Structure 1
Amino acid sequence: MSAKKSTGLDLILPTSTKIRLAIIWLVVGVFYAFGDSFFGENMSGTAAVVIFITLLATIITASFGVVKEADELAHKLGEPYGTLILTLSIVSIEVILIAAVMLGPGEFPTIGKDSIFSVMMIIMNLVVGLCVLFGSLKHGEQEYNAQGTLTYISMIVLLGGMSLMLPNVIVGMGNGAFTTMQAIVISTLIVILYGFFLLLQMKGYRHLYIQPQKGAMEILFARRNQSDVTTTEHSKAETPGSKNEILIRSLVLIAMILPIVLLSHNMAVVVDYGIKAADLPPILGGVLIAIIVFTPESITAIKAALNNETQRAINLCHGAFVSTVGLTVPAVLIIGLVTGKTVLFGISSTETILFLITVCLSFLTFFGKRTTPISGIMHLVLFAVFIMLIFTP
């Protein structure tokens, strides 16, 4: 008997992806059908643990599915488009989880700030540290595009300073809160700045976010032929087969994100229950969201560093935090204004010191043109200090 030929759809969507989608949506169906009975007032600690593990496994499975499809689109569309798709997909999940916590029962005025600051510490110290350390140990001094990387850091300084540090010193609502007018203006300015950054990154200054070529002549040649490369990539993407694959993968990407949206409220309820029951620091809610959301992207960044794709690792890490602030701050402020809930963005004096050290260390790490292992170790030490201060403030 002759073997059955694989269809184009089978090649694009392997059996593992179909099984992943089926399991994820089965869990969604179960929680929507029987969710009310799961989250009653008499929910026990054991039930909460089982529900949490189930939701965590499902959301992480869906997140890895998002990363996989976004990564495939990245290879089809080229840089920096692919990385942007991956980063925006992941950050949108974070915004959804934060919004679910804010719109759920109880008051969580610092959830936005806690999540953003946790993302900064995890991405810019833990993940960047691992990327720099492992990549340098494997390949020696790794090259990257310094000008584009420093642009990321400049965006981090401005966006992070406006949203996390400014509320503590301006005459606002007090305790790190913006007034209504300040919230509207800050949100608008952040959206405009982030929009211009994305536009320039994708258009005229795309070459600043691409792995540098070996040798000045090759760099010059690459820049002169940038339009040709872009045209070639678009022509590849516009072939019928490629168009179909991009469309299918985009739909699968949405099908992986939607379950996270639908399950996010349930996760928020369980996390709130666990933090209160165990009397844990409130910031752990933000840390948990950051870990859940950015674990798949972090693994992708570390793999890129090990493959000597340093610029892609930098795009993923720094781009993740820029996108986090660019999308999360306006979303949280708008939700606060619409619902009337209190939103506090000002960070503590301890967090301010960690913020400043992280920015300075990042600048010094990427001020040159090559990475070294000691820089990675310093970032990891700073992350260890952050974890210590969560439990011993």
Structure 2
Amino acid sequence: MATRSPALSWTTVVPVLAAIVLALTWGRDLNTLLVIVVAVVLAGTVLAAVHHAEVVAHRVGEPFGSLVLAVAVTIIEVALIVTLMVSGGPESASLARDTVFAAVMITCNGIVGIALMAGAIRHSFTHFNAEGTGAALATVATLATLSLVLPTFTTSQAGPEFSGPQLAFAALASLALYGMFVFTQTVRHRDFFLPVETESGSTDADGDGHADPPTAKAALLSLGLLLVALIAVVGLAKVESPAIEAGVKAIGFPPSFVGVVIALLVLLPETLAALRAALRERVQISLNLAYGSAMASIGLTIPAIALATLWLDGPLVLGLGATQMVLFGLTMVVSVLTVVPGRATRLQGGVHLVLLAAFLFLAVNP
């Protein structure tokens, strides 16, 4: 029987189709039918992105695979934030804060909670490396505090904003912290971020619980298609945003909730990839994705926004409100208690998911 060409696979066709749909719909007002078509294509593209991310991750190995997906998604997310800020006027002053904070809550509670819950349901306990995961969590906590909490309390500028020098310091500190973490994760202490061996062991040739890695050609093809898919995901989310805004307004939700919806769409590939890793008893990869995405979201967004302020007019609101700070503080405390033992049960996953539900509920009812 003849084998099907990779070029005819749905995971190859869907990203290309999504790019075409994006080109045809960008900047247009969509009717109801087109909104549905874009939503269907968007969902398929998310699934294709997860597939190609796993192919690349399998080829390059951990923790590089998790890093590829986290950085790729975040770079495109940053581009989307800057684009919306340029076109949004004064109403977009808090867009960067809202988007980054939503990303932090979705990754640290949503992705972590789903991974721990799924892994514990399948395997009773989930095991991970507390040293590497703890280092990642500490970096996320420091980045978020420097960039999102301190602006609420500084006095050089009126309101929850940084002055120019303070914003420059936060940007440089974010880059430095992110750079140090990437060096630690990929070079100095790479073993801290590898999946923990369990009693079930490994049976494949390279000892990672998978089939043998794909060829270099297949991995390069998947890398290219992954980038196309991620660009399409963010672009189609932007195309859908007017319909989302209209829907949010129609049901009486605050306008800021639109940013939460778009953040959920953008982070869907990482969420699904983390879920699939957890079901294969590789929760460390899920946590690498979660905390790596949160870290990249802050460490790359804040410097990019700092540069963008050179030509953007209007204030840049970065400081969190009281409710947001309570949720962030509770998330960090719970995360520490989750990470320290190096293993977790369904309870820990459930606690994180309840915190995500609280964030989403309070985003709707501030």
| Shorter-chain TM-score tier | 0.7 to 0.9
Q: CA deviation at 1:19?
A: 2.4
CA contact (8 A) 1:52 1:267 kept: yes
Q: CA deviation at 1:179?
A: 1.4
| Correspondences of 1:173-188 after superposition (within 5 Å) | 173-188=157-172
Aligned to 1:336: 309
Alpha-carbon distance in 2 for matches of 1:168, 1:143: 37
Equivalent residue letter for 1:71? E
Equivalent residue letter for 1:24? A
Aligned to 2:260: 287
1:315 aligned to 271, 285, 288, which one? 288
Aligned to 1:19: 13
Alpha-carbon distance in 2 for matches of 1:187, 1:165: 14
Equivalent residue letter for 1:345? L
Tell me whether 1:359 sits opposite 2:332 in the alignment: yes
Aligned to 1:245: 218
Alpha-carbon distance in 2 for matches of 1:141, 1:266: 41
Change (3 A) 1:171 1:51: farther
CA contact (8 A) 2:76 2:231 kept: no
Alpha-carbon distance in 2 for matches of 1:274, 1:330: 32
CA contact (8 A) 1:62 1:260 kept: yes
Q: CA deviation at 1:52?
A: 4.3
Q: CA deviation at 1:5?
A: 6.2
Deviates more, 1:302-311 or 1:61-70: 61-70
CA contact (8 A) 1:304 1:310 kept: yes
Equivalent residue letter for 2:298? V
Aligned to 1:99: 82
Q: Which has the larger radius of gyration?
A: 1
Aligned to 1:80: 63
- The normalised TM-score by structure 1 is 0.82
Alpha-carbon distance in 2 for matches of 1:246, 1:25: 20
Alpha-carbon distance in 2 for matches of 1:392, 1:258: 32
CA contact (8 A) 2:16 2:228 kept: no
Aligned to 1:370: 343
Equivalent residue letter for 1:202? T
Q: CA deviation at 1:51?
A: 4.9
Report % sequence identity: 27
Tell me whether 1:201 sits opposite 2:185 in the alignment: yes
Is there any run of 5+ residues in structure 2 with no aligned partner, and where?
207-211
Question: Any idea what the Cα deviations from partners look like across 1:305-362, whole Å, max 9, x if unmatched?
Answer: 1211111111111111111111122222322332224221111111101000000000
CA contact (8 A) 2:42 2:233 kept: yes
Alpha-carbon distance in 2 for matches of 1:137, 1:261: 32
* Paired residues, number: 356
- The normalised TM-score by structure 2 is 0.87
Change (3 A) 1:369 1:263: closer
Q: CA deviation at 1:79?
A: 0.3
Change (3 A) 1:328 1:50: farther
Tell me whether 1:157 sits opposite 2:130 in the alignment: no
Alpha-carbon distance in 1 for matches of 2:122, 2:289: 20
Q: CA deviation at 1:285?
A: 2.0
CA contact (8 A) 1:94 1:289 kept: no
Aligned to 2:209: none
Deviates more, 1:137-146 or 1:245-254: 245-254
Q: CA deviation at 1:69?
A: 1.4
Tell me whether 1:71 sits opposite 2:63 in the alignment: no
Q: CA deviation at 1:121?
A: 2.0
Q: CA deviation at 1:269?
A: 4.8
Equivalent residue letter for 1:355? F
Tell me whether 1:189 sits opposite 2:173 in the alignment: yes
Alpha-carbon distance in 1 for matches of 2:22, 2:171: 33
Change (3 A) 1:167 1:55: farther
1:118 aligned to 82, 85, 102, which one? 102
Q: CA deviation at 1:90?
A: 1.9
CA contact (8 A) 1:167 1:177 kept: yes
